Amino acid sequence: MNADTFNELPSHVWPTHARRQEDGVVTIAGVPLPEIVEEYGSPAFVIDEADFRCRCRTMAEAFGGADHVHYAAKAFLTRAVARWVDEEGLCLDVASDNELQIALAAEFPAERIAAHGNNKTVEFLRRCVERGVGRIVLDSFQEIERLGAVAEQAGVVQPVLVRVKPGIEAHTHEFIATAHEDQKFGFSLASGSALKAAREVLEHPHLRLVGLHCHVGSQVFDAEGFSQAAERVLGLLGTILSELGSLHPGGREGLAQQLSTLDLGGGYGIAYLAQEQPLDVAAVAADLLAKVAAQAEELALPTPTVMVEPGRAIAGPSTVTVYTVGTVKDVHVGDDRVRRYLSVDGGMSDNIRPALYGAQYDARVVSRFVDGDPVESRVVGSHCESGDILIENAHFPNDIEPGDILAIPATGAYCYAMSSRYNAFGRPPVIVVSSGKARVMLRRETVEDLLALEAE
Ligand code: LLP
């Protein structure tokens, strides 16, 4: 590692429109990051709008149409984001009543929304039904009953998918793997509960089963996980048709036409570090679509429409978080070993992922060129907790000083979304950059905002 490395912006990790100018300052979409800090303060999230939109299109192309892709709102959602997703023609996946309400406030068409969650409230289910949400993904027997009652009350027939737990191990962090048996989501395929759920839905006059859903996990790189899951869920579709076809007035054929959706969830892995490579979504999609078509033919089924729900792969790489370095401290950690602690003005409140999942990130000084020698370093936040670490173990040049602006790339997914107000930090603003201009998407939370919540 040398000074050059520390000045490079690996293009597979940074937003597409990030550049380092001749004076060493980094711009995104033509906007210098130090100017953003001057105007809006730090820390701040900076999102490259064109990058986000372009990733929507790449997903749509890979999976054969924008209406085959649901952007997973949980990764990052505001009304503006919902409008971008709508303008790009994608569908939207929401996982709470408030996510749904944000989407609806942006006038996102309800019929292109899918609703998720393992314990949806009745209010959420009611809003989905009343507003005409396109699909509700069922996750438990109680929910089949609850939603059935809500739909009956509303006098509608609600389209639904049954979420299947296909029983495979996704190779990712335990907390974000969701297809193995011993976790909370979905109906188990192996135990027969997925088939039983399908029967209950098919027998309910106010529910219309339109397909099956599964999600293997998040930040997945092993494409085998996706195709194994697809194979098992499609196998179940075949079983449903042969065992439950008689419940449909059109028999097996009629039911086959109705169960036209195979939703395989999200999980497409991105690169956080220069030495990582993002999953090649186009290749994975082509392989997956071919395998599904071949298996459907074998099972004598019409080829289902494969839907996906990427969140991270769309939002993640579009965004960087800018911080100002406040202190630089050398800490003796062994006989002759020193570790340099670079403290920045945010931390685990704006990015809990390193503390929660051991997620690894990288950073660059974006206010100038650096040319120091690499020293063992740790980038830490400003919270009252020693686990408040953003980058645990890396080398950074030894000329980084207080006042330098540091940016961590690939923070667009699950950082703002999982942010907290620990130590009464207000959440940072989210600044959109596009064609040389910056604008505020979300303003910074102030102490007045926090005090305004207090009832006494
Ligand atoms: N669909 C379903 C049903 C999901 O549960 C998820 C993510 C997605 C789609 C989107 O997955 P993606 O394409 O973004 O990987 N907070 C964690 C990630 C949790 C993901 C939860 N579900 C993190 O920061 O890594």
Instruction: Quote the CA–CA distance of 353 and 361 in Å, as a whole number.
Output: 9
- How far is CA 300 from its chain centroid? 35
Fold of 49-315: TIM Barrel (3.20.20)
Q: Please, where in the chain does CATH 2.40.37.10 lie?
A: 3-48+317-452
Nearest CA to ligand 1 atom 2: 265
Section 368-389 average pLDDT: 97
Residue 409, SS3 per DSSP: strand
Residue type, 95: A
Residue type for 286, please?
Answer: A
Task: Sort residue 301 into left (φ over 0), alpha (ψ -120 to 50) or beta.
Answer: beta
Parallel, antiparallel or unpaired: strands 158-165 and 31-32: unpaired
With a 6 Å cutoff on the Cβ, whether 75 touches ligand 1 is: yes
- Residue ranges of the chain that CATH labels 3.20.20.10: 49-315
Q: Tell whether the model's pLDDT for residue 3 goes beyond 80.
A: no
Q: Is 91 a catalytic residue?
A: no
380 sits in which H/E element:
strand 374-380
**Closest to 195 (Cα-Cα) out of 212, 182, 180:** 212
Q: Name the pLDDT band for 302 (thresholds 50, 70, 90).
A: very high
Q: 74 C-alpha to center of ligand 1: Å?
A: 7
Q: What is the pLDDT of residues 184-227, one digit of tens each?
A: 999 999 999 999 999 999 999 999 999 999 999 999 998 899 99
At 406, phi and psi to the nearest 5?
-115, 140
Does the CB atom of residue 215 touch ligand 1 within 6 A? Answer: yes
Here the tokens at position 184 are 């909370």
> Is the pLDDT score of 178 beyond 80?
no
Task: Pick the catalytic residue from 91, 128, 384, 415.
Answer: 384
Distance CA 204, CA 152 (A): 10
Atom 6 of ligand 1, residue of closest alpha carbon: 266
Q: Report d(CA 201, CA 160) in Å as an integer.
A: 8
When pLDDT is averaged across residues 422-451 and rounded to a whole number, the result is: 98
The CATH fold of domain 3-48+317-452: Lyase, Ornithine Decarboxylase; Chain A, domain 1 (2.40.37)
Annotated binding site: 267, 309-312, 353, 357, 385, 414
Annotated binding site for pyridoxal 5'-phosphate: 267, 309-312, 414
Q: Is the pTM of this model over 0.85?
A: yes
Tell me, using a 6 A CB cutoff, whether residue 176 lines ligand 1.
Answer: yes
pLDDT (average), residues 101-105: 98
Give the pairing type, strands 319-332 and 305-307. Answer: unpaired
Span 393-413, pLDDT tens digits: 999 999 999 999 999 999 999
pLDDT, one tens digit per residue, over 27-53 is 999 999 999 999 999 999 999 999 999
**Residue 182: per-residue pLDDT:** 84
Cβ(134) – ligand 1 distance below 6 Å: no
CB-based contacts of 140: which residues, under 8 Å, 6+ apart? 118, 119, 187
Query: Which residues 6+ apart lie within 8 Å of 178 measured at CB?
Result: 165, 170, 185, 186, 215, 216, 217, 218, 265
Q: What pLDDT band is residue 336 in, cutting at 50, 70 and 90? A: confident
pLDDT computed for residue 181 by the predictor: 82
- pLDDT of 179 > 80? The answer is no
Which residue, judged by its Cα, is nearest atom 24 of ligand 1?
Answer: 414
Atom of ligand 1 at shortest distance to CA of 418? Answer: 16
Residue 168's pLDDT is what? 83
Cβ 263 under 6 angstroms from ligand 1: no
| Distant-in-sequence, close-in-space partners of 296: CB < 8 Å, separation ≥ 6 | 234, 302, 303, 304
pLDDT band at 180 (very low <50, low <70, confident <90, very high): confident
Average pLDDT of 248-265? 96
**Cα separation of 413 and 270, whole Å?**
10
Dist. CA 75 → ligand 1 center (Å): 7
State the pLDDT at residue 175: 59
Residue 233 CA to residue 288 CA, distance in Å, equals: 13
Query: Average pLDDT of 381-385?
Result: 97
Find the mean pLDDT for residues 278-285: 96
Ligand 1 centre to CA of 416 (Å) is: 14
**Ligand 1 mean position to 362 CA, how many Å?**
21
pLDDT (mean) for 408-435: 98
Other beta carbons less than 10 A from residue 290's beta carbon: 11
The whole-number pLDDT of residue 444 equals 98
